[in-house]
Structure 1
């Protein structure tokens, strides 16, 4: 990867306070979501001893994320995006307060928990396209890749520390977790409400099928966007080895719960450290090849993990997998933002979120089905090889993307 430091932009967080303000807001929200996810899962299993009910939590989050994504994108492009995020977070906060109050009153049951999680999932679906579309308005285009890397570092930190913190606080009781998370969400609401940046919403138009699917049409017409988003979709769909970690930990690596914890953390740690690097260094040349190379490396790391019977080699493969995925993610996210007009960013971001949610959920399902039929090792091996095949095909089918030299123009 060709990269260089960007001293001319200085410290991004210091010179662009609105971005720091936004980043801290998203950090608080990310920690809250990770913590409540752990607490809800543990409490429902404590109440019901049912693995099926754990699956229902995922289903309740998945359905609105897919069905409501396009309307959410339309709203992001019609209203002031900061206000959309604030309104959504207020309803999420109310649901968390409901969880805490009913918990302390000993009124929580499985149905109530699932109902509150459903409410949170609906409003997070409407929040996400607007939140993603705010970042390009906070920094100049030339340092957008660094901003996205820093933004990604917050998400990775939340995914590493949040579950552990939620599990530790669960010792006090789930109601205390919900109360603390509600306080963190309220902090996020207040910070977001005070965020100031230049943005003028367009003239509002009614939502019809043409506008609802205009993000899909736009992506089909833009070869760069189509290539980037479909590459991510199929690479994640095929390379979902992390869904099989409990099998590898127990039956192949012969480790316990502590080993499984390390295996789950390794990709996030790799991604977090790589995000720090990308926040300091900007990719300057051959970014198309760098992106394809990082996805191919993701496939190779998956193959190494599949064939490994040594815990430390497996941890190294997962660490590399996470780091390489972060490189690809920053390039993909930057291209999606820069190749999309501001008035379309909400709708295109909504389609992108459908791709992400579908690939993650179906990727886990695909890995489970293949593992059941051919074994976990073969499932991960097939996924890694499939990722390499996808990279080869996409390099042929999207030559413009392969030849892409820079993320942003030097004069942006």
Structure 2
């Protein structure tokens, strides 16, 4: 019987670090969005301010896109614990600086966008390191459960973070920034408690550039991994509505900062509920079909959110979208981790993170642009329809998804030193 991940001390520290770090990151993101929108609305109309909100996503995505070829190699070559330690410390310092500027009344758009850029850099390095570290902490047979439990930390963080950020900001902005800084300090302490873990041997037979290319080639040649990654990319790119939540909270649903926190937590509530279920009842059968149906449900839920003018209906739609998204995340993460050799997990995780960030941050930019053209409601509705259409198309282009019955790979994929690329 597989060992439960929480019975392993290193995994417990990892989980607590990810939980507190995610609470802090999601709270910081909601504060940045709220303050950017508030400053923009002083001189701009709704559509212009919506476009500026979308640019926050671009500010986070550009550094991540530029750094992706490097960060995967770093995660496969450097102690992954130290990567997370350094990036967490940077976030803690940046949050403290934003809090100081807010306290001084000197906070402006340049500082907020600078913080968004730093968040992109931090995510670029920390994401692959976090993802590649988890499989080193638990036995292989415990990995699907560990992924579900790790997702609980992430999703609980996305529930508590926005709600906490909105609530504390409504009480006092200084208090909000001080609390987030403290959360990052706890996350940093927890990652320092993780003892030595196995680190894959560095391949010295190939030059760094060839090793970077290996990660992209591996994803391209493993069609099941490619299908899972790209389906999430295009579905969330089209149907991501989080960038427009400040508009819905302020100008459509009229619920203010506290309501914004609840809306931002909605998808996390649904996703955490699904993750808790999977931690006790791991998915075993028809994983590919369930992923496809989950993305269809996600698109339908986003459609309902887009047209709703009632707060509780909107929140319910986001919760359903979160459940569906967690099913997709659970399947995608398990397929990637179990179909990838340990010595390549950092690079493959970097490719996966690039597509996830493209769907999230570029999705925010796309939402802002579409809202500027169609209005916020039109942008969200079009995105929901697009996600459903993409799922139907992907089910035809990648029949491997429908044929994936379990997470177990049919055979082990390894690097061939002769070519420096992944071969089936």
Interval containing the TM-score (normalised by the shorter chain): 0.7 to 0.9
Per-residue CA shift, 1:152-200, capped at 9, x if unaligned? 2222222222233233434675444444333332322222122025313
Deviation at residue 382 of structure 1 after TM alignment = 3.7
Match of 1:87 in 2: 86
Residue 75 of structure 2 corresponds to 76
User: How far did 1:55 drift?
Assistant: 5.8
Which residue of the other structure, out of 20, 33, 41, is the alignment partner of 2:25?
Answer: 33
Q: Which TM-score applies when normalising by structure 2? A: 0.81
List aligned pairs for 1:226-237, cutoff 5 A. Answer: 226-237=226-237
Give the direction of change, closer, same or farther, for the CA distance of 1:82–1:63 in structure 2 (3 Å limit).
same
1:224-283 Cα distance to aligned partner (Å, 9 max, x none): 11111111111112223455556667887x654476655443322111211111111111
Cα contact 2:64–2:354 (8 A) shared by 1: yes
What pairs up with 1:301-380 in 2 under 5 angstroms?
A: 301-306=301-306, 311-371=311-371, 373=373, 378-380=378-380
Q: Deviations over 1:80-114 (max 9, x none)?
A: 11122223323333434444566667776654555
Distance in 2 separating the partners of 1:156 and 1:233: 19
Change (3 A) 1:120 1:387: closer
How far apart, CA to CA, are the structure 2 residues paired with 1:188 and 1:131?
A: 12
After TM superposition, the structure 1 stretch with the greater mean CA deviation from structure 2, 36-45 or 271-280, is: 36-45
Assess, with a 3 A threshold, how the Cα gap between structure 1 residues 120 and 227 changes in structure 2: closer, same or farther: closer
CA distance in 2, matches of 1:305, 1:377: 9
* Residues 26-85 of structure 1, C-alpha deviations (whole Å, 9 max, x = no match): 112112222333444555667784658766654432221221122111100111111222
Per mean C-alpha deviation after superposition, the further-off stretch among 151-160 and 39-48 is 39-48
Query: Distance in 1 between the 2:106 and 2:248 partners?
Result: 39
Q: How does 1:75-154 map to 2 (within 5 A)?
A: 75-99=74-98, 111-112=110-111, 114-115=113-114, 118-154=117-153
- Identify the range of structure 1 (102-111 vs 233-242) with the bigger mean alpha-carbon deviation: 102-111
- Is 2:60–2:116's contact at 8 Å kept on the other side of the alignment? yes
CA distance in 2, matches of 1:397, 1:348: 22
| CA displacement at 1:332 relative to structure 2 | 0.4
Equivalent position to 2:12, from 7, 13, 20: 20
Judging changes above 3 Å, is the alpha-carbon distance between structure 1 residues 171 and 391 closer, same or farther for their aligned structure 2 residues?
closer
**Residue of structure 2 equivalent to 1:65:** 64
Q: Which moved more, 1:53-62 or 1:124-133?
A: 53-62
SS at match of 1:282: coil
CA distance in 2 between partners of 1:43 and 1:269 (Å): 24
Instruction: Tell me by how many angstroms 1:133 deviates.
Output: 0.6
Give structure 1 stretches of 5+ with no counterpart: 1-7
1:384 corresponds to: 384
Structure 1 range deviating more: 242-251 or 86-95? 242-251
Q: Distance in 1 between matches of 2:32 and 2:399?
A: 46
2:225 — aligned with what?
225
CA distance in 1, matches of 2:32, 2:315: 28
Output aligned runs, 1:273-284, within 5 Å.
Answer: 273-284=273-284
Aligned to 2:419: none
Q: Distance in 2 between matches of 1:57 and 1:93?
A: 19
Task: Report which stretch shifted further, 365-374 or 230-239.
Answer: 365-374
Shifted more, 39-48 versus 297-306: the winner is 39-48
C-alpha spacing 1:366/1:121, structure 2 compared with 1 (3 Å):
closer
Contact 2:102 2:173 in 1 (8 A): yes
Moved more, 260-269 or 50-59: 50-59
CA distance in 2, matches of 1:280, 1:334: 15
- Indicate conservation of the 8 Å contact 1:74/1:207, yes or no: no
Q: What residue number does 1:5 align with?
A: none
